[in-house]
Structure 1
Amino acid sequence: MLTTHKHFQANATGWTPDTWRSRTALHQPVYPCPTELQHTLQRLAQRPALVSAGKILQLKTLIAQAQDGQGFILQGGDCAESFDHCSRETTASQVKVLQQMTQVLMQRLQMPVICLARLAGQYAKPRSSDSETLGQETLPVYRGDIVNGSTFSPQERRADPQRLLQAYSCCASTLGFVRALYETGIDDLLKPAHWSTAWIDTHPEKAAFHRTIQGVQHTAQFMAALAGSDTDRFLHRETFVSHEALLLDYEHALTRQEPGFDGWFNLSTHFPWIGKRTADLEGAHVEYCRGIRNPLGVKVGAEVSPDALLALIERLNPHNEPGRLTLIHRMGADQLRKALPPLLNAVTRSGAKVLWLCDPMHGNTETLACGTKTRRFEQIMGEIEVAFSVHREHGTRLGGLHLELTGEHVTECLGGARNLQPEDLSRRYLSKVDPRLNYEQALELALRVAHLTH
């Protein structure tokens, strides 16, 4: 049984920002010139922090409230951010779709919805193989723009340390633009002209969906009239950022102590998470994350045993600190009903304070005969529906969703109100790794979840 302590112990036992280097670090690139890498990391370590310790702890408080049933998390954004799409247009479209989804959920759930974007740092990706072969040529696999290029050529696939600095610059400009959006107010994003709703007219629940959106817009107008330009004080409208803490050299370079705060913080993001492929109890990623004060996420697959999960919880949150740990189950619609209950029961018995999120994307990825990776909207919705049901049946609460989505009108996932078919995917398939819900599919999902849970 875990014991709850009132105060976080600032320094984890035997931990320093470097202890992860003595452990096995999976899914790390091999750089041709270690000297160039070290020089680049030294430069990166001198750059200003991207986020603040105060905001990190604010998010931890909000997650603790969600653990107590007083909030819901919407975590969403790109599968893998791209340097080419580091622009005000792309960022604005991401903030717009997430804020519209957030307000839809809040309108129906009648509780705060915390917006946690996969943004300003999601540049590295784990891959199932270290190499890729086309014809007679084999090259290193693409690991995200922070490591190498997606074009299949020896020069592009070389792991380039300079990309670490380029990623940092993109993150800084993205965060600067997001802050500017909030400083000037984001009410415009909720006005009718910024909602694409033509697809709703073909949906069986069109009347209910239109009423919900109109309710969001009327609330925004009322608050604007009541508070002038200070509506953010009344409606929870803030975007925190998150990314997978995969590339440990990058995370380490931005791990700092901040005056006025105890302990160490990863100041590259508010919310780092550990992926399914790097969640080994004795691995470098768990070792690194156990010592930072950020709230943490951990992806949990169907193959994880209750004992393994409890050991991981104990390692990452030994003092059972509220708001510290979020478990993101990613199992697939077919496996969740069997695999999740033993984990829920074990965590409940342990007394561990965790927040459960559902990632309905990664367990429902498939490759078509033509070689294109995709996901089916109804399978994604199916896993969400089963997740809510299983949590209710076991006396636990599903406290949020983790989604790969974009505010752009891409064609990467099948189905949805527009009923995208395999032949539609080639029209605008832009993702370099995994398929994302497009703007309309993301909004439809939020509306269906909102009506599902009300």
Structure 2
Amino acid sequence: MKWDINSWRNYPVKQQPIYPNRKDLDKVLSKLQKLPPLVFAGEVKELKKALVKVSQGEAFLLQGGDCAESFKNFGAVNIRDMFKILLQMAIVLTFAGGCPVVKIGRIAGQFAKPRTSDFEEIDGVQLPSYRGDIINDFKFEQKSRIPDPNRMIEAYYQSAATLNLLRGFAKGGLADLHEVHRWNLRFLKKNKLHKQYADMSEKISQALNFMEACGINTQNTPSLKEVSIYTSHEALLLPYEEALTRVDSLSGEIYDCSAHMLWIGERTRALDEAHVHFLSGVKNPLGVKMGANINAEDIIALANSLNPNNEEGKLNIIFRMGAEKIAHNLPKIFSKLKSEGLNLIYSIDPMHGNTTKVGNYKTREFDKITQEIKNFFEIAISEGVYAGGVHLEMTGQNVTECIGGACNITMRKLNKRYKTQCDPRLNADQALELAFLIADLLKRNREC
């Protein structure tokens, strides 16, 4: 079928809420269509250029952020702390890994969540599942779980405010490399890991002093004080995505202006369904989450649909197989894809395949997360493939949601600061620890 902005409505669609009042929904969508875009075509094009370097093995993609943003926890401090931990991780990867880093946050739009079941039950009471703040409320009561289209408006304005602050941080001084010591979050422990970060920060400061003595400074080299940070989210709620899709006035090309990059989840990537069809028509860089049951033919078919012109920097395949399964499945996939000549970025999501339950808490073991990352890099090296990125659910908050790491979160400590509304996230300690691990693996991969 010929693509049009609303032609996805002619396809089978999954994970969409049923709104009780169609008139209310239409009114909200009409308002969204008239609001300014959240991101601009020029910014998306710049991201695409950066991702071309990733596809060519000349840069690395760091994508991370909240499992699901919430209206309740929205605030400048949380946004700042997420920005800081992304900067910390990027500087570790750049300095220790010897590689430019493309930074994309799961932020300013990550409000919708796919669910395994349409209903959830607590103490014998069954209610519709929580699907993210853009759709319904986390509170376990009947009224709160009714889908409300007005939540899309609130999500839009929160995303706009978040983007405004991120742009300010990126260009207004916080990203200055001279501030590298100040990027440490206030609660980080003074352990061996953070001594390692402080030592690296000192080396960076010495290098900056040398460069300044040679006449290279923030006045004549803006890249020393500014960064580019992009936004992304799962393009799950298709009426919202459609309402924020625009035609670029300069090129006539079509962009989903809700974020710089969009991805399709494991549950909604069927070739003959609405999500793949909708995103096949926009110019944004795209990602697709791939679980343990996929094969090379699945990836080839999706690439032909989502990137028919085989553009570099367009399509990111994000594996989420689990630590136990990746070693068996990924080598034969890479082996097959190498001969296809497809321009793809390969990333690893080590979070979703390693989720388990301890009592009433969902959690993830840090050791399994690191093991899947190691397996991903080792398989890529052995198959002659470039491991191009990592996709993490993480936060700048001092949470206790994932077990293990240098901060030694145990099963008993999970309830101490368990704050997520959906899936467990790495805290800043664990995220920084991963950055040092990935930097070593990245350096090896680039040398091969």
Smaller-chain TM-score range? over 0.9
Cα deviation code 1:386-414 (max 9, x no counterpart): 11000011110101100000011111111
Shift of residue 227 of structure 1? 2.2
Query: Aligned to 1:84, what secondary structure does the other structure show?
Result: coil
| Residue from 53, 56, 78 that aligns with 2:44 | 56
TM-score using structure 2 length: 0.94
Report the equivalent of 1:163: 151
Label 1:259 to 1:19 Cα distance change in 2 as closer, same or farther (>3 A): same
| Residue from 237, 240, 255 that aligns with 1:247 | 237
For 1:173, the aligned partner's letter is: A
Higher mean alpha-carbon deviation, 246-255 vs 228-237, is at 228-237
* 1:411 counterpart = 2:400: yes
Report the equivalent of 2:98: 110
Does the 8 Å CA contact 1:122/1:243 hold for their aligned counterparts?
Answer: yes
Query: Aligned to 1:350, what secondary structure does the other structure show?
Result: coil
Shift of residue 269 of structure 1? 0.3
Report the equivalent of 1:435: 424
Shift of residue 193 of structure 1? 3.7
Report the equivalent of 1:380: 369
* 1:296 counterpart = 2:286: yes
Cα deviation code 1:18-62 (max 9, x no counterpart): 111111110011111111111111111111000000110111111
Q: Distance in 2 between matches of 1:167 and 1:251?
A: 12
* 1:174 counterpart = 2:159: no
Q: Distance in 2 between matches of 1:130 and 1:238?
A: 38
| Residue from 305, 312, 334 that aligns with 1:315 | 305
Shift of residue 224 of structure 1? 7.4
Query: Aligned to 1:402, what secondary structure does the other structure show?
Result: strand
Shift of residue 86 of structure 1? 1.8
| Residue from 139, 142, 162 that aligns with 1:154 | 142
Cα deviation code 1:253-278 (max 9, x no counterpart): 00110210232100010000000110
* 1:132 counterpart = 2:120: yes
| Residue from 379, 388, 396 that aligns with 1:390 | 379
Does the 8 Å CA contact 1:199/1:417 hold for their aligned counterparts?
Answer: no
Shift of residue 215 of structure 1? 2.8
Label 1:241 to 1:223 Cα distance change in 2 as closer, same or farther (>3 A): farther
Q: Distance in 1 between matches of 2:230 and 2:188?
A: 30
Q: Distance in 1 between matches of 2:320 and 2:412?
A: 28
Label 1:164 to 1:220 Cα distance change in 2 as closer, same or farther (>3 A): farther
Cα deviation code 1:263-304 (max 9, x no counterpart): 210001000000011000101000000010001001111101
Report the equivalent of 1:7: none
Q: Which runs of 5+ in 2 are unaligned?
A: 444-448
Label 1:222 to 1:260 Cα distance change in 2 as closer, same or farther (>3 A): farther
Report the equivalent of 1:337: 327
Q: Distance in 2 between matches of 1:93 and 1:221?
A: 27
Does the 8 Å CA contact 2:173/2:225 hold for their aligned counterparts?
Answer: no
For 2:273, the aligned partner's letter is: G
Does the 8 Å CA contact 1:223/1:231 hold for their aligned counterparts?
Answer: no
Query: Aligned to 2:108, what secondary structure does the other structure show?
Result: coil
Superposed CA RMSD in Å reads 1.9
Label 1:45 to 1:198 Cα distance change in 2 as closer, same or farther (>3 A): closer
1:1-400 matches, cutoff 5 A: 14-187=2-175, 190-196=179-185, 199=189, 201-202=191-192, 209-219=197-207, 226-228=216-218, 232-234=222-224, 237-368=227-358, 370-400=359-389
Does the 8 Å CA contact 2:87/2:175 hold for their aligned counterparts?
Answer: no
Higher mean alpha-carbon deviation, 130-139 vs 249-258, is at 130-139
Does the 8 Å CA contact 1:79/1:435 hold for their aligned counterparts?
Answer: yes
Q: Which runs of 5+ in 1 are unaligned?
A: 1-12
Shift of residue 191 of structure 1? 3.4
Query: Aligned to 1:30, what secondary structure does the other structure show?
Result: coil
Q: Distance in 2 between matches of 1:57 and 1:198?
A: 36
Matched positions, count: 439
Shift of residue 347 of structure 1? 1.8
For 1:341, the aligned partner's letter is: P
Label 1:347 to 1:200 Cα distance change in 2 as closer, same or farther (>3 A): farther
Query: Aligned to 2:72, what secondary structure does the other structure show?
Result: helix
Query: Aligned to 1:116, what secondary structure does the other structure show?
Result: strand
TM-score using structure 1 length: 0.92
Shift of residue 200 of structure 1? 5.8
Shift of residue 220 of structure 1? 5.6
Does the 8 Å CA contact 2:346/2:386 hold for their aligned counterparts?
Answer: yes
For 1:128, the aligned partner's letter is: T
| Residue from 410, 421, 432 that aligns with 1:421 | 410
